A = this chain, B = another copy of it.
Amino acid sequence: MMKAWEKNIRKVVPYVPGEQPNKERMIKLNTNENPYPPAPGVAEALKNLDPDRLRLYPDPACTRLVDAIAKQKGLKPEQIFVGVGSDDVLAMCFMTFFNSEKPILFPDITYSFYDVWAEEFRIPYETQPLDDDFNIRKEDYYKENGGVIFPNPNAPTGVEASQEMIEDILQHNQDVIVIIDEAYVDFGARTAQPLLEKYDNLIVVQTFSKSRSMAGMRIGYAMASPELIKYLNDVKYSFNSYTMDQTALDLGVASIEDQAYFEETLHKIIQTRERVKLRLTELGFTFRDSRSNFIFASHKSCPAEELFEKLKEKDIYVRYFNKPRIHNYLRITIGTDAEMDEFLSEVENYLKESGRL
A residues whose Cβ falls under 8 Å from a Cβ of B: 3-5, 8-18, 20, 28, 31, 33-38, 42-43, 46-47, 49, 51-60, 84-85, 87-88, 91, 95-100, 116-117, 119-120, 146-147, 174-177, 200-201, 209, 213-218, 231, 233-235, 237-248, 251
Contacts and interface: CB of A to CB of B under 8 A. Distances in A.
List of 8 A-B pairs having minimum Cβ-Cβ separation, nearest first: A4-B175, A216-B246, A43-B51, A54-B216, A55-B213, A247-B247, A14-B234, A37-B52
Contacts of A246: 216-217
Nearest to A178: B5
B11 A36 contact: no
Contacts of A3: 175, 200-201
Contacts of A20: 57, 59-60
Contacts of A244: 218
Counted per complex, copies of this chain come to: 2
9 contacts: A11-B234, A35-B55, A37-B52, A56-B215, A84-B245, A85-B242, A87-B241, A119-B238, A245-B247
Contacts of A49: 46
Nearest to A55: B213
Contacts of A10: 95-97, 99, 231, 235
Contact of A217 (B54, B217, B240): B54
A114 to B, nearest CB: 11
B12 A238 contact: yes
A251 B49 CA distance: 13
A219 to B, nearest CB: 8
A37 B55 contact: yes
A130 B233 CA distance: 32
A204 to B, nearest CB: 16
Contacts of A235: 10, 12, 120
Contacts of A201: 3, 5
Contacts of A217: 54, 245-247
Contact of A248 (B13, B56, B200, B245): B245
Given A3-B200, A85-B240, 8 more contacts: A4-B175, A5-B177, A9-B99, A17-B242, A33-B55, A33-B57, A37-B51, A117-B238
Q: Which of A5, A200, A248 has the most CB of B within 10 A?
A: A5
